Chain A
Amino acid sequence: MSTDKKAWIYVDHAATTRMSETAIQVMTECMKDVYGNPSSLHTIGQHAAEYLAQARADIAECLHADPREIYFTSGGSEADNQAILSAAGQGARKGRKHIISTAIEHHAVLHTLKKLEKEGFEVTLLGVGEKGIVTAQQVEDALREDTALVTIMAANNEVGTLQPIAEIGKLCKAKGVPFHTDAVQAIGHIPMDVEALNVDMLSLSAHKFHGPKGVGVLYARKGTVLTNLIEGGAQERGKRAGTENVPGIVAMAAAMKEATTGMEERNAYVRGLRDSLIEGLSKIPHSKLNGDPKVRLAGNVNFCFEGIEGESLLLLLDRAGIEASSGSACTSGSLDPSHVLLALGLPHEVAHGSLRLTLDEENTKEEVDTIIQKVTEVVTYLRNMSPVWDELEKGERRHVI
């Protein structure tokens, strides 16, 4: 099978991205030439240590952090787990066993919180309303004397909504409660300055911004006590054992520098594509854009189409060369539709028919036009064989959207 990018319209950038040429180049060079173990004392090892230090400094700069606050991990999930478990551990020592989060977090956060609940923590999951946005006021109202952590994502992976991180950071700082944000979807799309945003911990993942898979970062503000998830050697200031993935880390730094440069120009272009796509898909009867129309990532489009199911839509789009994603249960192996769409108040039967298209600067207006045409065709085709649509058309079932 050819996965040549010209043969496909790839609109699943929230799932993962193609590596940038620069990242591939530095990664390859690194694999060939920088093979030492950064913990080795000899010249070859120290050569690798220098690359690692430079990558750490570059990433710190992108986040407006200190290099000593950057911990390399295997990706966003590990960073989320470590951030939450660390804050929970510290909280528990002070008798604080309450955590505030939202109903639309990634499972790396939600499942970690579930685990903590079983260990006696109390978790408040804030609702996000039909637009998919939480408010700082909601956080303030939920804060308690025993709140150990507030963990709220910067941008949602499914509906792309942006959360008021600056306001929440300011509030948490004033109240003295640690604040973690899962910025996996945000890096390279919105500015993430940990100082300006008053973030204490932040998770990111390289493959979401044209870096390699299997590598990420946990930023932890100076003074944050981290709990180890992996025991062993003294790498990462003793907080994350295991020989560092030097080529991956160096490539991540290169990709991050690229992704955080010229962000506004890129966003303006991608936002234009997004809005055309939204406009085009809105013409399909009984369709609905999920999430806030404006307060969302520049490349995120998430639609529901009544009367059809998401997986069949995705399979037919794939056959038409369009690589998209869905909040459909069937795609994930679970039978429940997306927890994010349900949190937005969509009924189950509508949430089953969702489509997520995530664009980036590599997409074109022509591609957007093709997508609009193909999605319209496929939705019509599937509706014609859907007994649900039949009932809707006959008035035996009420339209929800």
Chain B
Amino acid sequence: MLYSEKVMDHFENPRNVGKLEDADGIGEVGNAKCGDIMRMYIKVKDNVITDVKFNTFGCGSAIATSSMATEMIKGKTLEEALTLSNKAVVEALDGLPAHKLHCSVLAEEAVRAAIKDYYDKHGVAYDKNQFCSFDCVACHAEDAHE
């Protein structure tokens, strides 16, 4: 089996899939050329993420990591959500194959991008160094042929 049961579960029954028409923050990372795009919508009340939805174009692990990341940030404060690491997402999914680890990085970046968008839209001051450039890491990875 390529993927763990947890990955397959989140891939086949993704949690929080969809859109939030009245989202307070939207983050999109990745690009279609490299094969993964994640878009995350968050609803924020009193500094807490009250709702989150995602849309993902990508492989099984991209969908599963998106789903897991949404579960891990729902109900959390923005500060807590910003500490979500790709490693934590991978661990929660009982691991990912090595060549799929970039998907978890995208999930982490999607969460951060959504929070940054919320800060920007709501005039919240923040330390810019907290956020990376949201460059798709996958596109810079070495081409690994079988």
Contacts and interface: CB of A to CB of B under 8 A. Distances in A.
Interface of A: 107, 111, 307-312, 315-316, 319, 328-330, 332-337, 347-349, 352, 385-390
B63 A312 contact: yes
B38 A309 contact: no
Contacts of A387: 28, 37-39, 55-57
16 contacts: A309-B57, A309-B62, A311-B59, A311-B60, A312-B11, A312-B58, A312-B62, A334-B144, A335-B143, A336-B143, A349-B32, A386-B57, A387-B28, A387-B37, A388-B32, A389-B57
Which residue among A309, A347, A386 has the maximum number of chain B CB atoms within 10 Å of its CB? Answer: A309
Nearest to A308: B57
Contact of A388 (B17, B37, B139): B37
Top 4 nearest A-B pairs by Cβ distance? Answer: A349-B32, A311-B59, A330-B59, A387-B39
Contacts of A315: 8, 11, 60
Contacts of B37: 386-388
The number of chain B residues touching the other chain, given as a range, is 20 to 34
A334 B17 CA distance: 27
A398 B34 CA distance: 18
B57 A307 contact: yes
Interface of B: 8, 11-12, 14, 17-19, 28, 32-39, 54-60, 62-63, 99-100, 138-139, 141, 143-146
Contacts, number: 87
A316 B139 CA distance: 25
Nearest to B67: A385
Nearest to B102: A335
B56 A386 contact: yes
Contacts of A386: 37, 55-57
Contacts of A336: 143
Nearest to A386: B57
A363 B19 CA distance: 40
A268 B38 CA distance: 45
B145 A385 contact: no
Nearest to A385: B17
Contacts of B33: 347-349
Contacts of A316: 12
B57 A333 contact: no
Of listed A330, A347, A349, residue having the most chain B CB within 10 A: A330
A312 B38 CA distance: 14
B81 to A, nearest CB: 20
B12 A352 contact: no
Given A309-B59, A349-B33, A385-B56, 12 more contacts: A111-B145, A309-B57, A312-B59, A328-B59, A330-B100, A349-B35, A352-B35, A385-B17, A385-B18, A387-B39, A387-B56, A389-B57
Contacts of B138: 335
A333 B138 CA distance: 12
Contact of B144 (A111, A333, A349, A388): A333
Contacts of B18: 385
Nearest to A316: B12
Given A348-B32, A387-B28, A387-B57, A335 B141 contact: yes
B36 A309 contact: yes
Contacts of B38: 387
Contact of B143 (A328, A334, A348): A334
A106 to B, nearest CB: 12
A332 B28 contact: no
A390 B32 CA distance: 13
A2 to B, nearest CB: 15
